[in-house]
Structure 1
Amino acid sequence: MTPADREQIAAGLAAGLEYAEIARRLNRPTSTVTREVARNSGPHGYRADLATRATHARARRRKPVLPAVAPLDDNHGRDATAVAAFEEQFVAMVVETGLQRMAARVLARLYLTDSGSLTAADLAQSLRVSPASISKAVAYLEGIDLLQRKRDTRRRERYVVDDDFQLRAWTASTRTNAMWASASLRGAEILGPHTPAGARLEYLGQFFERLHQDMLNGVTAATVGDALTVLAALVHAGRPLSAQELATALGWTADRVGEALRSAADSPGMADPVALRHTETGAYDVIARPERLTTRQREALSSL
């Protein structure tokens, strides 16, 4: 609302015009004019100059709008904008893994805080949410072993992610995979493995069983990454390659390539629906996993 608008409102009121007519002349909603008059002494006391001064005074009294999340404490001269952007990306990544958004926000805030620990009050204040939201989120994270509760020297409860976080996350994943495998295979027996639903559950159970065993056998994320890179290199090459050729092309040591090839061969489920094949000449290439296609499907594809 400009001073000129307020002058027109004052003139309209003095002339006995209805709010709707004043609003029409200003090309503004009637509700805007109604609010303007109501908060500035009403129709009988409205003055344009006083209304303008009152509006400026109210604007000065307004509290600054706080960001949705308080910035992380920082004593290291980091780029606050970059850190905040990364925190949002981290939260989004955690949500994509299946965690609730509030739990993901709590986990990210703890993990990105230098101390690695915060009280419930700290979390509520920094994330600008209610204590009840924090309580629910930390209970969920504790339930899946991604967070611990400890007392500090002042006997305050603090929520902590420590150096064992990765191990607990890994353990939680293996336990989840084992539960999926057990439930799916049990369902396959009940429904009958030769029925469509039973076969589907049997395949699901076998997949999670392989995944569970791979994790227990010490297959790390880095090892899986190397194995998949080798398979991608073979797909890209479009022909069999020796281990030495792979090492040269990837810029890796022979030992690293050898370990990646062994992992791909020992854990075929990680590369599904393709598989590594060791040819008679000693080279390696990639083929479709045999169980992915029926005999009829393979024959039909070969005839194309």
Structure 2
Amino acid sequence: MPGGRLTQQERQRIAAGLADGLPYAEIARRLERPTSTISREVGRNGGPSGYRPQHAHRATAQRARRGTPSPPRATGVPGGAREEEIVEMAVRSGLPRMMARVHLDLLLSEDGKRTAAELTRRLKVSPASVSVAVNYLVQHGYVRREHDPQRRRDIYVVDDDAWYRSIVISSRQTLEAAQVAMAAARTSGLDTPVGQRLAKVGTFLERVTLDMVESTDRWRALLA
């Protein structure tokens, strides 16, 4: 396993991995480096959205010549190390990276609201990327869209009830999958191995999802 300081080539590969949306752990695996080395390198050199390999290499060399410590890692602003850990956790749970970044920025806003222009400016990404992300989040119930008629713009909102909506939407999709499995089981024949297997899967998904919906309704008042 390589040791010592990162080379310029390694930093270029880190930048390429970030551009491809790879998690720190996968970038580290490809470079045969500890994950902590990658997260520290990115965190102290602009974060995932602002990482530039040439700048990072020059900055590291300058710090080494001066013998001064690297800047402290931010923990209270979007893009800081702690927020990136939350984004990584969301990505591991299945949320696409850009959607996770937009969702977190909305969650960290004072009133839970941002315009598309604000998201674009804060995250330093293209308007098209923000548009795709918020459409996904709205579709899955994480965010709702409000229209500002005076300024003719949309405002994206994370409210307390968003958690309820997202679970309901996800449950509805899982129930549809359960119904498809049950229908396929009947088509294959419930007395065949394939039919029995599909029937078990459909029944399992249906029962678990209905339990989740019941629990969600029972505890919804906690969000009020």
Give the structure-2-normalised TM-score. 0.58
| Correspondence for 1:82 | 75
What is the letter of the counterpart of residue 215 of structure 2?
Answer: G
Q: Give the distance between the partners of 1:156 and 1:219, measured in 2 at CA.
A: 33
8 Å CA contact 1:188, 1:202 repeated in 2: yes
Percent of paired sites with the same residue: 39
Choose 148-157 or 97-106, whichever is displaced more: 148-157
What do the CA deviations read for 1:33-80 (whole angstroms, capped 9, x no partner)?
A: xxxxxxxxxxxxxxxxxxxxxxxxxxxxxxxx854448xxxxxxxx97
Matched, 1:199 2:192: no
Distance, in Å, in 2 between the alignment partners of 1:120 and 1:129 is: 11
Unmatched runs of 5 consecutive residues or more in structure 1: 1-64, 71-78, 223-304
User: What CA RMSD, in Å, does the superposition of the two structures yield over aligned residues?
Assistant: 2.7
What amino acid sits opposite 2:142 in the alignment? Answer: L
SS of aligned partner of 2:215: coil
**CA gap 1:146/1:207 in 2 versus in 1, 3 angstroms:** same
Q: After TM superposition, what 4+ stretches of structure 1 lie above 6 angstroms from structure 2?
A: 219-222
Match of 1:62 in 2: none
Corresponding residue number in structure 2 for 1:161: 158
Match of 1:134 among 123, 130, 137: 130
Amino acid at match of 1:132: A
For 1:179, the equivalent position in structure 2 comes to 176
Instruction: Quickly say closer, same or farther: Cα 1:68–1:94, change in 2 above 3 A.
Output: closer
Q: Tell me the SS of whatever aligns to 2:160.
A: coil
* 1:99 matches 2:95: yes
Cα separation, 2, equivalents of 1:95 and 1:66:
20
Taking structure 1 as reference, are residues 86 and 66 closer, same or farther at Cα in structure 2, changes over 3 Å only? closer
Which ranges of structure 2 fall in alignment gaps of 5 or more residues?
A: 1-44, 51-71, 220-224
Contact 1:87–1:109 (CA under 8 A) maintained in structure 2: no
Contact in 2 for aligned 1:68/1:127 (Cα 8 Å): no
Secondary structure of 1:108's counterpart equals: helix
- How far is 1:171 from its partner? 0.9
1:102 Cα offset (Å):
1.3
> Which residue does 1:124 correspond to in 2?
120
Q: Deviations over 1:220-262 (max 9, x none)?
A: 899xxxxxxxxxxxxxxxxxxxxxxxxxxxxxxxxxxxxxxxx
Supply the AA of the counterpart residue of 1:162.
D
Match of 1:27 in 2: none
Q: Counterparts of 1:132 and 1:143 in 2: how far apart (Å)?
A: 17
Q: How far has the Cα of 1:217 moved from its partner?
A: 2.6
What is the Cα deviation at residue 110 of structure 1? 0.9
Tell me the TM-score normalised to structure 1 length: 0.44
**Aligned equivalents of 1:112 and 1:215: distance in 2?**
27
In structure 2, give the amino acid aligned to 1:158.
Answer: I
**Comparing both chains, which one has the higher relative contact order based on Cα–Cα distances under 8 Å and sequence gaps of 6 or more?**
2
